[in-house]
Each structure stands twice: as structure tokens, then as C-alpha cells.
Amino acid sequence: MLLKEIRAIAGETLVLAPHDRDAERANTSWFGAPPHERMGMSADEVVTAFEETAELLRDQVATMPYHGPATFYVWHDGAAGQLRCSTGSCGHDALPFEAPYRATSDLHAIVTEFLADRAPGVLVWGEPEPVAFRSAGPERPVWVCSLCP
């Protein structure tokens, strides 16, 4: 199911509006999967689905009247237990995150972290925040892929 949902992104209408970041939020998708589904798939399968989606999005951007930067990006939201992705009219160094992030070309590590999270979004009794499966370091790793030809 997860792989099918990732690939379906390429069939959705892409919004690139550099002066309206709120409109670009329509490009954001999030995916969860129960532990049994996570254990049944490999990181390579998920990475391939995202890479195929990026290629189709690149083709879509090439046919648009838009001329400027376009970036497809993927990250693991450990607090929500989700893989998230979006496309924006920005470069890899200007993604719309409030928290610090680190652009990376290593999608495999992000997907592996998501698949290894066996208790996504779990709350510890008495704690207001979910227990997040987090990678080391203060910056969130974000896989970036330029969609410009």
C-alpha cells in the first residue's frame, strides 16, 4: 500500500507558486505504515518508489510554464511516525522548514529510519510529546532532488 501511495503522487496536480508558499502545501504528502507492513518491505523498494516519482515529477515540471527552481524532498517525521514528502519552488538550501535541516543525497538512510520505527507516534504515559525515533544530530536529514531539467 505504501509503495502505491508514493507512486500516486506523480498523478496529482503540482503547484509551483514561489510567491505563495501556502498554495504549495498542496504538494505535501505523508505516509504511515503499521509495523507489520514496515517489516514486510525493504528500504530499497521504498527508495525506488520515491526515485520513480521524482522522475515523473521532473517530466511534469518540464512541461509547465514555470521557470525557476523546483525541488522534491523527503524526510522522516519521527514524532508523527511518518515519511513525508513535498515539492516546492525553491532550491535545496531554502526548504520551508522551521527547524534546522540538513540536505542529503542519502534517501536510503531516511527510509531505513522510518522502517525501523516500530512504535510510530507512540505517547509515553504522562508525557506530552510522542516518543520519536530520531537520527543522531540536531538537524533533520532531508533527501532533496532537483526537478529542473
The set of residues, in sequence order, having a beta carbon less than 8 Å from that of 144 and lying 6+ positions away, is: 71, 72, 73, 92, 95, 103, 104, 105
Asked whether residue 55 carries a pLDDT value surpassing 70, the answer given is yes
Q: What would the mean pLDDT of 1-19 be, rounded to a whole number?
A: 95
pLDDT surpassing 70 at residue 136: no
Q: pLDDT tens for residues 58-78?
A: 999 999 999 899 999 999 998
Q: Which residues of 97-135 are buried (b: 16+ CB within 10 A; e: fewer)?
A: eeeebeebeebebbbbbbbebeebbeeeeeeeebbbbee
- Please give the Cα distance from 88 to 28 (Å, whole number): 9
Rounded to an integer, what distance in angstroms lies between the CA atom of residue 94 and that of residue 146?
12
Average pLDDT over residues 135-147: 84
Does 100 have pLDDT greater than 60? Answer: yes
Task: Return d(Cα 92, Cα 90) in angstroms, integer.
Answer: 7
Read off the pTM: 0.88
Q: Give me the helices (H) in 83-141, please.
A: 107-116
